[in-house]
């Protein structure tokens, strides 16, 4: 899968995804570390990448724009803050949501559960 890791997460997450065989870039690789969320959102959509973030604003963007892409993985709750552990957590759970991400989804991952919202989101997020 193709990923764009947001600045809310370390470049180590992107590197770990690459080491696991995925096409992953961090916003810093594009010089976009200071970019607005909408710019990152648009870049991911253009390149058919899944946004990986800890920033809840991406879920809001999906709801507001009622788009079918890009898919977003949102790491929340007590997800480990150490980048290598975040990557391990993501990689350990990725297979269970792969099909949804390929079709278009907002996936919220936290240690207690994984929630999947199919895109486009047409009702308010709760």
Q: Considering the domain boundaries, does residue 125 fall inside one?
A: no
Average pLDDT over residues 40-45: 95
User: In total, how many domains does the chain have?
Assistant: 1
Asked if the structure places residue 64 within a domain, the reply is yes
Nearest to 26 by CA among 45, 48, 43, 10: 10
Task: Give start and end residues of each alpha helix (H) in the chain.
Answer: 11-19, 37-46, 57-65, 83-94, 98-103
Asked if residue 126 belongs to a domain, the reply is no
Q: What pLDDT, on a 0 to 100 scale, did the predictor assign at position 109?
A: 94
The answer to whether residue 101 sits within a structural domain is yes
Q: Which pLDDT belongs to residue 79?
A: 66
Q: What pLDDT score does 87 carry? A: 94
In this prediction, residues 36-61 reach a mean pLDDT of 94
Residue 78 lies in a domain: yes
Q: Which residue has the higher pLDDT, 78 or 72?
A: 72
Query: What pLDDT, on a 0 to 100 scale, did the predictor assign at position 81?
Result: 78
Distance, CA of 118 to CA of 105 (rounded, Å): 4
Question: Using one digit for the tens of pLDDT, what is the confidence trace for 24-41?
Answer: 999 999 999 999 999 999
Pairing of strands 113-118, 72-75: unpaired
Report yes or no on 124 lying in a domain.
Answer: no
| Domain annotation covers residue 123 | no
Domain range for 12 is 2-118
Average pLDDT, the chain: 92
From 27, 30, 29, select the one nearest 54 (Cα to Cα): 27
Asked if pLDDT for residue 46 goes beyond 70, the answer is: yes
pLDDT at 111 over 60: yes
- 24-33, 57-66, 81-90: the lowest-pLDDT one: 57-66
């Amino acid at each position: 899968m193709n990923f764009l890791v947001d600045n809310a997460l370390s470049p180590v997450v992107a590197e770990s995804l690459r080491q696991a065989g995925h096409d992953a870039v961090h916003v810093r690789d594009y010089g976009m570390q200071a970019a607005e969320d909408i710019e990152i959102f648009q870049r991911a959509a253009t390149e058919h990448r899944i946004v990986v973030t800890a920033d809840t604003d991406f879920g809001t963007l999906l709801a507001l724009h009622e788009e079918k892409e890009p898919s977003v993985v949102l790491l929340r709750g007590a997800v480990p803050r150490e980048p290598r552990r975040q990557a391990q957590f993501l990689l350990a759970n990725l297979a269970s949501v792969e099909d949804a991400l390929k079709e278009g989804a907002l996936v919220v991952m936290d240690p207690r559960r994984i929630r999947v919202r199919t895109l486009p989101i047409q009702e308010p997020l709760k």
